Structure formats: C-alpha cells, structure tokens
Amino acid sequence: MDLPGAAHLMLAARVIHLDFASAVFDAMVDGWGLQQRVRFLDENDTWLDSRSSWRSVSGSLSGPARAGTMACVDRIPNGRLSEADIALLDALHANPRASFEKLAATLGVAPVTVARRWRRLNEAGQAWVSSVPSPRLAMSGAVCEIEPDPGRAVPVAAALATLPQVISVYLTSNQYAVHTIVLADELDKLTMLLLEVIPEVPGALRVRSHLGTQWLSGARWRLGAITGSQRSSVTGTEAGDGRAETARTLVFDNQERELYLALQHDGRVGYRELARQLGIPEHQVRRQTESLLRRGMLTFRTDFARPEGGWPTELVLWLSVPHDRVEQVGLQLAEWPETRIALATIGSANLLVMAQLHQIGEVGRLRARLAEVDRGTVVVDESVVLRPVKSWGRLLGAAGHAVGVVPVDPWSAPFADFHH
C-alpha cells in the first residue's frame, strides 16, 4: 500500500532516452513539483533561499549530476527559477552566445537538457539575450527623470518605453517617479530628445536630465551560481565584457547596424536564421559578427525575470563623489555582484548606481559598504524600483517577464507622436 504523499517515477513507454539519467532526474523533479503544489505547502518550505542554497553535489550522485555540479531542482512551484536555472543563467551571463554543448560541459548536464531548459525560460519570457553596441562606439547618453501628473506615472512610462532611444524605463518611489536611460549616436539628437521629445509625453509635469560622461559598468554580471573555473570554461571569443577601453569614436556602417538590430530580438539566434532575416549569405553574417566581436564593437547581455530568481529589489542611488575619484569609485562599485549600472554623470550627483538586492532590508548594509569604499562619497538621493517597465529594449510585464521588444536604436530619428 502507498505511503501518504508517496511519489512515483514513470518514464514514457517505448521511448529511448538519449540521456537516461537526465530523463530520470527531470521526471523525479516534475513529480516533486506537482506533489508540493498539491500539498499547498508554503513557498518558503519549497523554495531554497538564493543567498544560501548554492551547494555542490557529493560523489553519491551519478550520471550528469556529478561532483562539482549544482544540486538542483529543474522547476520550482509558482514560477520561481530553480538552482539549475540560475546556474544556466550565470553561465550565460559569462558568455551569452555559448553553445549548448559548451554550456552542458560547464554545468555537468547533457546538451539536450540545457537546450530544453533555455527554451522553456526563453519562451516564458523569463530569460533572454540581446545585442549591445560597445561603449567604444560614438554615443551620447543621459538619465532622464520625469515627475508625472498625479496618477499618470504608469501611462507616462508606457509611452516612453515605445521610444527606441529610451533604452530602459523604471517606475520608482521617487517624486520623479519615471526613471529612464536615453542613448543617441549624436549629442544633437540626445539634446532634442531631452528638450523636445520626452517633455511632450502626455502626463509629464516636470523633467530633469543628467548627462552621462562614462559608462563604468559592463554588460556581464555574476550571479554566484557557478565557480570561477566553470566561468572560465564557458567564456570564449564571443564573451567580451563590453566596457570601453578607448575613446568612443567607432561607428557602425549600415549593414553592421542592421545586424545589430536583428540580434536585438534574439541574441542567441543562429547564423543560418540570421542570414535568412538579413537576406545575405550565412558565411558573410558569420564573418561580420565575428569581426565586430573581435574589434570590440559588439557584445551581448543576458537578462532574466529577476524577482523570480531571488532578486526582487532594485535600488537607485545618486552619489556625490569627489571629482578626482569618480572613475575609481565607479569602477570599484561596478565590480560588486549587486551592481547592474554604474554611470558617471555631470552635476552635484555625479555617479548613478543601480543595484539588485535579495531584500529591501539589505539597503543599510549596502550603504555601510559604500562608506568603506570612499569616505568622501555621499548618498544624495535614493529610491526603490517599484516596477521595471523596459530593460535594454525588452518590454516587461508586472512580474518582470519579457512581453515584447522595442529594439534599442540610438541612430533613429528623435521623433515621437504621443497623441496618435
């Protein structure tokens, strides 16, 4: 007779599993997840705290879950990302275009398992990869904050998210509740956006802007789910960090721009499909992409629904740093795993830092660490992101899932008709 709550393992009849051990493990995980949902357990009983749950598998496991890989469950109830998901995303942060074979070897699972896991995350809007023009390209950027009319924050943010030059949009707890980052290939275009286009959005009461001088953070973040050796094994020629090491003087030609824009929709798309979309030979697409990567003109970034991965809180900090130490402090803060953005700006608040936290109670510890970095640095203003609306071109739903894309296009004309 079955014991109460007993789970059974059943594999499909007459199906030959190429990776039997992975199939057994995935089937067990599916059964476990269903069992817990049926029991209506509190999510704290089933979700492993992301700050303390990374653990290595002992030699008692066999098959693809070898020693040194992450102990994991493949699916977590209520849409939360599992340890296996986070480990995959951490590897993809290190190299967003790594092949499934390379990822599988790094994570100690079969390529088919990695491919299936990525497809599930991507199709659900929980994770995605995008192209990024290198900071070496000639660009001008700014942070633009909008104080909306009462009750108009959401529609103001939605309207600004339609602009291809507005790369990210956040709703925050600040009086200037709509926080945006704007990028253009020329200062004249950026000026027009800040003075003529954005202020015209219906519901915008006041607008203030901070011109950027130096992007100090890269496009690669560490989630802490894989080891240093695993990170090294997955990086390759396509894994540049995206930080500027020279003056921003390089430019895309028209064909390179079209390639970049196509990769905005899916940064992991294969060369054959990319060639079909662009209408040029596959070998030409491959050569052009590799050339842009080699010259440091193009990179890629991996993003995911951060609240479901255990990072529900994002903090916006405006810092005043002694002018002769802005770059030094910014680069140091950019190395923190919490830091998503570090941007030097002009003004009394001359450094913007956006940091991802596990919980809002960590804000105090973050401030204390800031004081240790530089005693002369002062927090001028701080707010919490209440809802991300757009993140590097991806339109986000309330849960942080990608629901659409407005390709980041700094070269497009600065025009918008918000009234039609």
CA-CA-CA-CA dihedral for 198, 200, 204, 210, to nearest 10: 30
Q: In this predicted structure, which of 1-15, 241-255, 323-337, 392-406 has the lowest mean pLDDT?
A: 1-15
More confident residue, 278 or 9: 278
For residues 186-195, give the mean pLDDT. 96
H or E, element range at 310 = none
pLDDT of residue 246: 53
What's the fold here for domain 20-124? Arc Repressor Mutant, subunit A (1.10.10)
Residues 146 and 200: their CA atoms lie apart, in Å, by 11
Annotated domain spans of the chain: 20-124, 140-221+305-405
Report which of 134, 138, 141 is spatially closest to residue 343, judged by C-alpha positions: 141
Residues 253 and 263: their CA atoms lie apart, in Å, by 16
pLDDT tens readout for residues 18-76: 445 555 545 554 444 444 333 333 333 332 333 333 333 223 333 333 333 333 334 44
% pLDDT > 90, the chain = 68
pLDDT tens readout for residues 363-385: 999 999 998 999 999 999 999 99
Q: Which residue has the tokens 């980052």?
A: 181
Same fold, 20-124 and 140-221+305-405: no
DSSP string, 362-409: GHHHHHHHHHHH-TT-EEEEEEEEEEEEEETTEEE-TTS-EEEE----
CA 26 to chain centre: 27
Q: In this predicted structure, which of 63-72, 139-148, 358-367, 381-390 has the lowest mean pLDDT?
A: 63-72
Token output for 353: 């830092």
More confident residue, 21 or 407: 407
Report which of 121, 155, 160, 122 is spatially closest to residue 144, judged by C-alpha positions: 160
H or E, element range at 88 = helix 83-94
H or E, element range at 269 = none
% pLDDT > 70, the chain = 78
Report which of 46, 56, 129 is spatially closest to residue 89, judged by C-alpha positions: 129
Q: In the CATH scheme, what is the code of domain 140-221+305-405?
A: 3.30.70.3460
pLDDT tens readout for residues 97-116: 999 999 999 999 999 999 99
Please tell me the total number of residues recorded for the chain in this structure. 420
